[in-house]
């Protein structure tokens, strides 16, 4: 068995507790306008060309994004950072793209991590069939669950898919008692409004859950990736949230009993 991986990043501190290794899997069912990893959208390796100036000339260099790997090869690379996991309480985070797009491969990798007593985190958009979602979520030591918008129509307009399956899997996670951090991107023109955030903050307690919420302010640092891939960037005219707006959003969730972190 092989899966398609487009990056393995050691020494990550934003993808779960402690120092982590993030395994980025290709393929995603969403097409979020603000996606920060567009190189992970397609499920297969892709060929791109980079242009580099050299001696007054422009050199075009071919590059393949994505590599087929076995679970054992992934585990071997992850284990290079084992000493940092043990010292910091870290582990491995499966992200992407969307790990649930490669469910059998992700499950096989997780099994090897469990065998090695390595903490596992699933970073997911939550858009998957219930049996696929639960199959992986039940194995993870922690789930980073993306919640983008409560309104299904708006969600579909900006991400390409309705929010119904996402909300169903979120509720199922809470009911099952899965360890969970809800991550909410703060996107001007999409969900960065007081009314919208109040509604989103109200949805979570209604499911019986009150835990940690991580707010992720929109930024433009992925623009160069779109240029590299020859893709248009539909968010170039969208401003980044101000510090005051981020704090106001955080306060909405704090007032409702959540532990709130920002950034990452």
Residue 55 tokens, joined: 């001696």
Contact 23/109 with Cβ under 8 angstroms? yes
* Percent helix, percent strand, percent coil in the chain, to nearest 5: 40, 25, 35
pLDDT in tens, the chain (264 residues): 999 999 999 999 989 999 999 999 999 999 999 999 999 999 999 887 766 777 777 777 778 999 999 999 999 999 999 999 999 999 999 999 999 999 999 999 999 999 999 999 999 999 999 999 999 999 999 999 999 999 999 999 999 999 999 999 999 999 899 999 999 999 999 999 999 999 999 887 665 667 899 999 999 888 888 888 888 888 888 999 999 999 999 999 999 889 999 987
What is the domain-level CATH number for residue 148? 3.20.20.70
Cα separations in angstroms, 84 against 12, 91, 219: 11, 8, 29
Question: Which pLDDT belongs to residue 67?
Answer: 95
What is the residue range of 96's domain?
A: 3-262
User: Based on the structure, what is the number of domains in the chain?
Assistant: 1
What are the distances in angstroms from CA 41 to CA 72, 170, 228, 239, 260?
24, 22, 14, 24, 29
pLDDT of residue 205: 67
pTM listed for this prediction: 0.93
b/e code 67-93 from CB counts within 10 Å (16+ = b): eebebebbbebbbebbebbeeeebbbb
What is the structure's pLDDT at 36? 92
Residues 6 or more apart in contact with residue 6 via CB below 8 angstroms: 24, 25, 26, 39, 40, 45, 65, 66, 67, 97
pLDDT at position 243, please? Answer: 95
**SS3 assignment, position 151:** coil
Distance CA 173, CA 211 (A): 13
pLDDT the model gives residue 206: 62
- Helices H, strands E: what count in the chain? 9, 11
């Amino acid at each position: 068995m092989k899966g398609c991986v487009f990056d393995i990043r050691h020494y990550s501190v934003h993808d779960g507790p402690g120092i982590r290794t993030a395994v980025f899997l290709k393929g995603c069912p969403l097409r979020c306008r603000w996606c920060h990893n567009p190189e992970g959208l397609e499920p297969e390796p892709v060929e791109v060309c980079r242009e580099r100036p050299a001696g007054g000339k422009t050199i075009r260099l071919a590059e393949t994004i994505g590599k087929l790997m076995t679970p054992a090869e992934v585990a071997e690379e992850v284990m290079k950072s084992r000493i940092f996991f043990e010292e910091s309480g870290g582990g491995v985070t499966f992200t992407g793209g969307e790990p649930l797009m490669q469910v059998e491969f992700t499950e096989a990798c997780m099994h090897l991590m469990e065998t090695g007593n390595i903490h596992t985190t699933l970073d997911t958009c939550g858009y998957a069939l219930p049996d696929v979602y639960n199959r992986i979520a039940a194995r993870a030591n922690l789930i980073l669950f993306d919640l983008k918008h409560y309104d299904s129509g708006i969600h579909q307009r900006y991400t390409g898919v309705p929010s119904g399956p996402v909300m169903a899997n979120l509720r199922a996670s809470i009911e099952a008692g899965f360890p969970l951090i809800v991550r909410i991107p703060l996107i001007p023109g999409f969900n960065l409004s007081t009314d919208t955030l109040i509604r989103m903050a109200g949805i979570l307690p209604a499911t019986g859950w009150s835990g940690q919420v991580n707010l992720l302010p929109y930024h433009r640092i992925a623009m160069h990736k779109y240029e590299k891939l020859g893709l248009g960037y539909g968010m170039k005219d969208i401003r980044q949230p101000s510090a005051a707006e981020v704090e106001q959003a955080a306060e909405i969730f704090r007032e409702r009993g959540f532990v709130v972190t920002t950034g990452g």
